[in-house]
Amino acid sequence: MNRAFVYGDLLFETIKVVDGKMQLGQLHYKRLVTGANALKMIFTLTFSTFEQLVEEASQTINLKETRVRFVLYRDSSGFYTPNNNQTAFAIDVFPIQKPISLHLGIYTETYKPCHVVSNLKTGNALVYTLAGIWARENQFDDALIVNEYGHICEASSSNIFCVTQNKVLTPSLQEGCVAGVMREWVLSQLLETTFTLHEGVVTKDDLTNADAVYLTNAIYGIRQVTSINGQYLKAYQAGFPFS
């Protein structure tokens, strides 16, 4: 019964590895370091060691593409207050399942608070678990989560982007979404296009009035949403950049 199990005192990265090579590795490492600093965890692995560990782990199953979960947890005795901030890690490897269609529902039975920890991938994930159960019970492929203000925050394991003509809208980090690795990559690429980018508040009306809505994460990349709460979205011809 370590702290990761009892208190959710952990960070994790879910990483796509293709042909033995980690994808977006520098962004995953940067987020892990940022999270460790925020949670006052001692994390001393260099990027090259982190990369080697992830890529070696991916080879334990003989597949072209693998999903590697790197879990960093505080390795200390103590109750809520740890006796030290030393860390240990564990690595799991999974096959990547085939992407499904994206018929989404909006989950409102609980909400995600907006603070600095909300941007991290931690073990405090009950809102995602409950949202996933709710989506399954209501025959949706995934659930959209709202924040404490009732704004759209993210999906259960993805960031969200709305596209209207040449404008792209996505929740800002102040809205409580996870600072996704694919989100960061897409934002950087959009700066090189003619699309106008806005990070801010996303409402339910923004979703229903958009030309298209997309989910992004490090495993499946960029995927277009088919419907939200049973309402089919408009057919969008131009396509999201890089989709």
Per-residue confidence (pLDDT) for residue 198, from 0 to 100 = 97
Burial letters 212-234, b for 16+ CB under 10 A, else e: bbbbbbbbbbbbbbebbeeeebe
State both tokens at 226.
Answer: 């088919």
- In a shared domain, residues 137 and 221: yes
Same domain, 176 and 207: yes
Beta carbons within 8 Å of 127's beta carbon, 6+ residues apart:
110, 111, 112, 145
Q: Which of 63, 95, 127 is the last residue of a domain?
A: 95
Q: In what order do the strands lie in the sheet with 87-95?
A: 21-22, 10-18, 65-74, 87-95
Kindly state the DSSP code that residue 211 receives in the 8-state scheme: S
Same domain, 46 and 160: no
pLDDT of res. 101: 82
- Write the pLDDT tens digit of every residue in 180-239: 999 999 999 999 888 999 999 999 999 989 989 999 999 999 999 999 999 988 766 556
In a domain, 175, yes or no: yes
Query: Three-state DSSP class for 161?
Result: strand
| Res 99: pLDDT | 79
Cα(132)–Cα(124) distance, rounded to whole angstroms? Answer: 15
| Helix, coil or strand: residue 81 | coil
Query: Which residue, of 95, 130, 154, is where some domain finishes?
Result: 95
Give the pLDDT of residue 159. 98
Task: Give the up-direction half-sphere exposure of residue 8: CA atoms within 13 A in the CB hemisphere.
Answer: 8
Mark whether 131 and 224 lie in a shared domain.
Answer: yes
- Our count of domains for the chain comes to 2
Q: Do 115 and 228 have their domain in common?
A: yes
- The pLDDT value recorded for residue 124 is 92
- Residue 127, pLDDT score: 97
Place of tokens 């560990």: 53
What are the structure tokens assigned to 139, written together? 């025959």
pLDDT of residue 125: 94
Q: What is the pTM of this model?
A: 0.94
* Whether residue 81 is found in the same domain as residue 134: no
**Residue 143: domain span:** 103-232
- One domain for residues 117 and 202: yes
CA atoms within 13 A of residue 174's CA, in its CB half-sphere = 3
pLDDT tens-place values along the chain, 243 residues long: 689 999 999 999 999 999 999 999 999 999 999 999 999 999 999 999 999 999 999 999 999 999 999 999 999 999 999 999 999 999 999 999 987 889 999 999 999 999 999 999 999 999 999 999 999 999 999 999 999 999 999 999 999 999 988 899 999 999 999 999 999 999 999 998 889 999 999 999 999 899 899 999 999 999 999 999 999 887 665 567 665
Look at residue 238 and tell me if it is in a domain: no
